[in-house]
């Protein structure tokens, strides 16, 4: 079960960008490079959402996307109980990376509230940088094992063999995760998955979004989730790769032994 450790209106405020401001474009770019997160409001119309998404990313189609490239995230009763379709139900959605079963998940993910739920349906965000730092302190062995190549398989028959943390040159990491029935763990790493889930529970931020509010995240750094809900909750999602250059993943937090993570994972 998702436990939100932080009832964080503060997170929404901290990374908020007024998209109507003249310097908004530059601020969005800086937020993405520094923290991988932008929050915003005022996008009440579908064409406004597409315009903003197109300004920051080359949008890519998804299995469930609509003809204009956005995906309407809503409860679809005929799909909600099918494996791999949890997002199109009304139950909780565990922290994950969008496109985790692809060889290269889209770098950016944007989610905008079109209609909030009658009850529940809050968004949860987890910063992979802080998650990895916490895990390295609580169980360095778990952090190392979860960085070993090909210790997880995400997806069905056309899925991808991968690992939770991928090491990049220059002391950088990226994160990739799914936690549904299409997540399969190597015996080498399976005993350490509970440590990961415990760390996730300590770093969840809850966002209660209203119509027109949303967030843009670096999908290689932030995990996202959703609490269960009732009512006709509708969110619109865009996926894609940035128009601007972004360094791979995120910088490993200060105090973590980068050489050990890299050598042990090799």
pLDDT at position 8: 60
- What is the structure's pLDDT at 194? 97
Domain locations along the chain? 9-265
Q: Could you tell me the strand order of the sheet in which 93-96 lies?
A: 93-96, 222-226, 123-127, 205-207
**Residues contacting 14, CB < 8 A, separation 6+:** none
Pull the structure tokens for residue 191: 């005993």
pTM of the model: 0.92
Residues facing residue 161 across a β-bridge: 153
Selection from 12, 163, 2 nearest residue 93 by Cα: 2
Exposure of 214 by Cβ count < 10 A (0-12 exposed, 13-18 middle, 19+ buried)? buried
- The stretch 213-223 carries a mean pLDDT of 98
Q: What pLDDT is stored for residue 261 in this prediction? A: 59
What is the DSSP secondary structure assignment for residue 253, as one 8-state letter?
A: P
Residue 200: helix, strand or coil by DSSP?
helix
Q: What DSSP state is assigned to residue 191?
A: G
pLDDT above 90 as % of the chain? 81
The rounded distance, in Å, linking the Cα atoms of 212 and 41 is: 5
The residue among 124, 141, 127, 123 whose CA lies nearest residue 173 is 127
Place of tokens 């865009």: 238
* pLDDT of 3 strictly over 70: no
| Three-point CA angle 239, 134, 259, nearest 5° | 90
φ, ψ (nearest 5 deg) of residue 146: -75, -5
12-40 residue pLDDT tens: 999 999 999 999 999 999 999 999 999 99
The per-residue pLDDT for range 37-56, each reduced to its tens digit, is: 999 999 999 999 999 999 99
pLDDT tens for residues 62-117? 888 888 999 999 999 888 888 888 888 999 999 999 999 999 999 999 999 999 99
Residue 264 has pLDDT above 70, yes or no: no
Architecture of domain 9-265: 4-Layer Sandwich (3.60)
Mean pLDDT over the full length of the chain: 92
């Amino acid at each position: 079960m998702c436990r939100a450790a932080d009832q964080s209106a503060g997170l929404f405020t901290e990374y908020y960008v007024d998209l109507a401001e003249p310097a908004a474009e530059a601020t969005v770019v800086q937020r993405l490079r520094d923290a991988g997160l932008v929050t915003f409001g005022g996008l009440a119309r579908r064409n406004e959402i597409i315009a903003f998404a197109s300004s920051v990313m080359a949008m890519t189609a998804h299995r469930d996307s609509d003809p204009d490239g956005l995906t309407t995230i809503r409860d679809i009763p005929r799909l909600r109980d099918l494996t791999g379709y949890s997002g199109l139900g009304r139950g909780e959605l565990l922290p994950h990376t969008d496109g985790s079963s692809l060889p290269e998940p889209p770098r950016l993910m944007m989610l905008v509230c079109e209609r909030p739920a009658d009850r529940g349906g809050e968004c949860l965000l987890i910063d992979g940088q802080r998650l990895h730092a916490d895990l390295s302190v609580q169980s360095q062995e778990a952090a190392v094992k979860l960085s070993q190549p090909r210790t997880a398989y995400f997806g069905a028959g056309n899925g991808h063999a991968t690992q939770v943390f991928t090491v990049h040159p220059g002391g950088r990491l990226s994160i990739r995760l799914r936690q549904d029935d299409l997540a399969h763990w190597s015996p080498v790493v399976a005993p350490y998955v509970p440590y990961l889930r415990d760390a996730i529970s300590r770093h969840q931020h809850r966002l209660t979004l209203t119509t027109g509010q949303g967030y843009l995240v670096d999908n290689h750094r932030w995990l996202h989730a959703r609490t269960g809900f009732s009512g006709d909750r509708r969110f619109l999602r865009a996926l894609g790769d940035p128009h601007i250059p972004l360094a791979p993943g995120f910088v490993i937090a200060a105090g973590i032994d980068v050489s050990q993570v890299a050598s042990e994972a090799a």
